[in-house]
Amino acid sequence: MKKFTLPYGRGTKTFELDESKILQEINMPSATPLTDIAGSVLDAVRHPIGCPTLDETVKPGDTVTFICNDPTRVANSFDFMPVLVNEFNRLGVPDENMQIVFSLGSHRLMTEEEMREGVGEEVGRRLKMYNSDCNVNGDFEYFGATSRHTPVLINKRICHSNHIVLTGTIVYHYFSGYGGGRKAVLPGCAAMETIRSNHSHMMDPRAGLGATDGNPVYEDQMEGVALWADAMKERGSHVFLFNAILDAQHRFLKMFAGNYIDAHKEACRFVDEVYGVPIERQADITIVSCGGYPKDINVYQMQKTMDNAVLATRQDGAVILLAECEEGSGSKVLEETCRRLGSADAIENELEKNFVIGANKAYAVTRLTKKARFILVTGLDKKMAKEMLFTDAVDTVEEAIAEAKKIVGGDPTYIVMPAGSLTVPRLKK
C-alpha cells in the first residue's frame, strides 16, 4: 500500500492505495524555485520584454495604478508588491501618487483586511486600495465594442494614471486559454455586461484550456483590452505587465515583465512546460486535490480542478475530488440554476438562450458530469452537492473510494493528482 497526503482546505487528507493499481501520480515537472524574490522581481522589470524599461518611461511625480488579484487567485502579491512600489519610489513616484485596484471580475468584494493580506501590511498602509465592483455602472468608462459586440466598459480608476501595472500569476484557464495578462483588465476590472458578453463565448467548442488561436473568449478579451490600451496610449499612459508562475507549493518559478501581450505569450510558453503532464492512459478513478485553500474555497473555484481531472479519467469513470469549500458554492446564481433546472442539458439549453454570469458556472460544473461521476470529499452541504449534480459528498477519502469502486466495477486503476488546479494531464497520442 502507498500512503498519500493531499491538501484539503487549510489542512490535509491522508489515504492509502494498492500501489500496483496506481497508473501515475501527476505532479508538476521538476523546476527549481526562485530564492532571491526581490532580486528576481527587479531583474524582470529592469529587463522587460517588448517595451522600454521603467527608467525610460517613468518621470518624477508620475501617477501609478497597480492591478492586483483577489483572494481566489493565488498570486503572492505580498512578496512582489513592496518591491514594485519601492522601485517606483526610486524613480521619483511618491506613495501618495500610487493606488491599487483589485481585479475582482464578478467575484465578491474584498474587505480592507483581505486587501492588506493580499499586498502585505506595509503596502496596505502606504497605498490607497479599491475594489473593482462590476455592478456599479457609474464606475466604468466606455471604450467602444469588439467585433463580437462586447461593450468595453473598464473601471475608471485604471484609466487615468501615467502608468498602469497589470500584476498576477498565470495558470491554464478552462475556457479563456490562460490566466494573467489581459485578464487583469477584462474581466478583472470590467463591468458586468462586459464580463457577461465576453464569457458567453465559453459555450463555443473552440473555447478551451490552453487555447488562444481561434478561441473566441481569448480573442474577444484581447480585442477589448486593445481598445482600452490604445486609448491609454493616446492619453500618454503606459501599460506594463508583471506576471509570475508559481509551483504547487506557491513558490515562484519564474517572473515575466514588459509589454502585456509579448511578455504574457512568453510566460504562457513556460506554463506549458511546467503545468502540462503527459499520461500513458486514463484511469478508472482519479483522486484529485484542488491544492487546498484558496483553490478549494468554493465550488466556483473548485470547478477549474474538475476540468483538469476529467482529462485523467476514462469516459464514465469516477473522480474523487478533495475540496473543503469553506465558502460553500461561491455563487447563489450557480446554486439556484442547478436547483431549478436539475440537469446538465437543461442548464445548457437555457444558457444558450440567455447567458447569465453565475449560471455559466452551473454549465461549467454540470457539463463535466456527462464525462465522469464526481464524488466530493468536502465540507459542502450534502443536499447542495446533490442539487449541483455531484454523485455524492462524503467526509473521508475512504468512503469516496468505496463508492467509486461500485461505480466503475472490477479492479480499478487510479491516477492521483495532488495539485489538480495546476497540473493538466495530456494523453499521449
Q: Are 60 and 27 in contact (CB under 8 A)?
A: no
Cα 210 to Cα 276: distance, rounded to the nearest angstrom? 10
Q: How far apart, in whole angstroms, are the C-alpha atoms of residue 404 and residue 408?
A: 6
* 3-state SS, residue 306: helix
pLDDT, residue 249, reads 87
Question: Which residue matches cell numbers 489542512?
Answer: 11
Measured CA to CA, the distance from residue 223 to residue 49 in angstroms comes to: 20
Q: Assign 3-state DSSP to the chain and report helix, strand, coil percentages, each to 5.
A: 40, 25, 35
Which residues 6+ apart lie within 8 Å of 385 measured at CB?
Answer: 376, 378, 392, 393
Q: Among all chains, which residue has been given the C-alpha cell 494531464?
A: 425
Q: What is the DSSP letter of 190?
A: B
What element of type H or E holds 393?
strand 392-394
Q: What domains are there in the chain, each with its CATH number?
A: 2-28+279-427 (3.90.226.30), 37-246 (3.40.50.11440)
Answer for the pair 75, 37: CB distance below 8 angstroms, yes or no: no
Determine the pLDDT at residue 343: 96
User: Which three-class secondary structure state does DSSP give residue 396?
Assistant: coil
pLDDT at 248: 84
> pLDDT truncated to tens, each residue of the chain (429 aa)?
999 999 999 999 999 999 999 999 999 888 899 999 999 999 999 999 999 999 999 999 999 999 999 987 889 999 999 999 999 999 999 999 999 999 999 999 999 999 999 999 999 999 999 999 999 999 999 999 999 999 999 999 999 999 999 999 999 999 999 999 999 999 999 999 999 999 999 999 999 999 999 999 999 999 999 999 999 999 999 999 999 999 988 999 999 999 999 999 999 999 999 998 999 999 999 999 999 998 999 998 999 899 999 999 999 999 999 999 999 999 899 999 999 999 999 999 999 999 998 899 999 999 999 999 999 999 999 999 999 999 999 999 999 999 999 999 999 999 999 999 989 999 987
The pLDDT assigned to 396 comes to 98
Report the predicted TM-score, pTM, of the whole model to 2 decimal places: 0.87
Cα(348)–Cα(202) distance, integer angstroms: 11
Distance CA 191, CA 270 (A): 31
Please state, in angstroms and rounded to a whole number, the distance separating the CA atoms of residues 6 and 9.
10
Pairwise CA distance, residues 305 & 275, whole Å: 13
Output the pLDDT for position 91: 98
